[in-house]
Amino acid sequence: MGHRKMKVLVVGGGGREHALAWKIGQSPRIDRVFVAPGNAGTASESNLPIENVQIADSDIPKLVEFAKKNAIDLAVIGPEAPLAAGISDALVTAGIRVFGPSKQAAELEASKVFCKNLLRHADVPTADFRTFRDVESARAFLVDREDSAMVVKADGLAGGKGVIVCTNREEAIEAVERIGASKEFGEAGNQLVIEERLVGQEASILAITDGRSLVTMPAAQDHKPAHDGDKGPNTGGMGAYSPTPLVTEDMLRSIEAKVLVPTVHQLKRMRRPFKGVLYAGLMITKQGVKVLEYNARFGDPECQPLMMRLQSDLLDLLEATADERLEELPDLLWDPRPAVCVVMASEGYPGSYTTGHAIRGLAEAAAVAEAKVFHAGTALRDGQVITTGGRVLGVTALGSSIANAKLQAYTAVKCIRWEGAWCRTDISDKAQH
């Protein structure tokens, strides 16, 4: 390891990327963090060497060109779409080190058919399933089967929306039509997965792997439904907290041994070594822990509470992963205090919403003890922070207990106003039951 300070490019512009840039920016080894395209939060970190670059996270040729021109030492990829499109491969070919899986390894997230088959081969517990290439055979399968609760999934990326949870056969047949025939999620519906519906609590387990070794992070829990009490349509995630008492230390070790390690080894055997974040979406059922899905990146908003709690140098961790020397790294240090992140959203989200509303009270929120406001859908216009997306802010706080972290986060939320702003009021309550 040299002593030269590093230039890092973070690709993406959501709350996850703000949290990553904020944490990387605190490394003693950082020279500069560029965020493409970033948001008003990454543009306003005046005490950290962070700056935005006006390149979309989908524009791979421009990102590669920028990385070469600016002698980027490490590129960190936030979202799934550029990973699935092969951004890591393009950067590596151009001689840039990358934190984030290759296109082939990212298929674990980009194709649910690939993921389910891999889980089956690696003997990792998951819901019983069948895969289908056409609507007719999927429908025939449902008609022949006993009437039961099932889940129908589009194979490809659908922004978390391509999963339809059904209570009976009739609903499942309708879901097959929507995904496979009406192509509600476009090409993502070219193949289908139909699986048994599992019952239990969900948890997110994120691990960093360089393809050989694995470092598991503390358990987190997301809140996907839009409204309190897990009601309403699914969203990208309305809040998260970590750690969660739902996953005990023993369970975490067992998840490592029975889920994460076999997955990493199977990918390696398939010559698709995985470098980056392996994110297991799990259901804790009466029959044990089962994998619902894998993501090939940090979760958003799970990343925000995790970055609040991480005490080790994130840059060391990301660089060691890119260099395949994760096993040399000392154990990660975590703040023992829990962190809670409350997402503030635009009126109408996850449906249609308007943007361009001025956000007030950010300075007051920043003054709340142990709180940090991560931006997601925001931009600067004439020196003012305005809304530009559905999920706008991730208001995150540490506390002596989960209840205390929740209180601090909502204290900061109360300072912030814009026309139509709303949030769930029960983030982290599942931890208390």
Binding residues for ligand GLY, per CB under 6 A?
160, 222, 237, 295, 299-300, 302
- When asked if residue 238 is in the footprint of ligand AMP (CB under 6 A), the reply is no
Least separation in angstroms between residue 147's CB and ligand GLY is: 31
What residues have CB less than 8 Å from 262, skipping those under 6 apart? 122, 123, 124
Q: To which residue do tokens 């047949």 refer?
A: 173
* 99, β-bridge pairs: 76
Closest CA to 20 of 38, 2, 47, 44: 38
392 binding ligand AMP? (CB under 6 A): no
Q: Is 87 helix (H, G, I), strand (E, B) or coil?
A: helix
Return the amino acid letter for 160.
G
DSSP three-state, residue 136:
helix
Which of 76-84, 195-203, 208-216, 411-419 is the region at the interface with ligand AMP (rule: CB under 6 A)?
A: 195-203
> Taking CB positions, which residue lies at the least distance from ligand AMP?
293
Among 198, 341, 345, 397, binds ligand AMP (CB under 6 A): 198
Q: Please, what is the minimum distance in Å from the beta carbon of residue 151 to ligand AMP?
A: 4
Q: What CA–CA distance (Å, rounded) separates 20 from 8? A: 11
CA–CA separation, 53 and 34 (whole Å): 6
Say if strands 50-52 and 30-37 run parallel, antiparallel, or are unpaired: parallel
Token reading at 414: 């109360």
Q: How far is the CB of 269 from ligand GLY (least distance, A)?
A: 26
Rounded to a whole number of angstroms, the minimum distance from the CB of residue 294 to ligand AMP is: 9
Q: Tell me which DSSP letter residue 1 carries.
A: -
- The reply to whether 223 sits near ligand AMP by the rule CB under 6 A is no
211 vs 305 by CB, closer to ligand GLY: 305
Strand positions, DSSP E, 38-148: 50-52, 74-77, 98-99, 129-132
Alpha carbons 277 and 296: distance in angstroms, whole number: 6
CA distance 325 to 215: 12
Which residues fall within 8 angstroms of residue 28, CB to CB, at 6 or more apart? 313
Q: Which is nearer to ligand AMP, 90 or 193 (CB)?
A: 193
Q: Which of 8, 108, 119, 151 binds ligand AMP (CB under 6 A)?
A: 151
For residues 172 and 166, give the distance between their C-alpha atoms in angstroms, rounded to a whole number.
Answer: 6
Query: Is the Cβ of residue 237 or residue 389 nearer to ligand GLY in the bound state?
Result: 237
In angstroms, the CA 343 to CA 224 distance is 11
Phi, psi (deg, nearest 5) at residue 294:
-115, 145
Stretch in the footprint of ligand AMP (CB under 6 A) among 88-96, 159-167, 235-243, 411-419:
159-167
Q: Does 300 bind ligand AMP (CB under 6 A)?
A: no
> At residue 18, what is the residue type?
H
Distance CA 55, CA 91 (A): 15
Closest to ligand AMP by CB, 59 or 426: 426
Total binding residues toward ligand AMP, as defined by CB under 6 A: 14
* Partner in contact with 302, chosen from ligand GLY, ligand AMP, none, beta carbon below 5 to 8 Å by kind: ligand GLY
44 binds, among ligand AMP, ligand GLY, none (CB under 5 to 8 A by kind): none
Q: Quick one: 188 or 292, whose CB is closer to ligand AMP?
A: 292
Residue 94 binds to ligand AMP (criterion: CB under 6 A): no
Nearer to ligand AMP, 162 or 394 (CB): 162
CB half-sphere exposure, 58, CA atoms < 13 A? 1
Out of ligand GLY, ligand AMP, none, what residue 198 binds, judged by CB under 5 to 8 A for its kind, is ligand AMP
Among ligand GLY, ligand AMP, none, the one that 295 touches (CB under a kind-dependent 5 to 8 A) is ligand GLY
Q: Which stretch binds ligand AMP (CB under 6 A): 192-200, 327-335, 358-366, 404-412?
A: 192-200
Which CB sits closer to ligand GLY, 297 or 406? 297
Residues near ligand AMP, by CB under 6 A = 127, 151, 153, 160, 163, 165, 195, 197-198, 202, 224, 281, 292-293
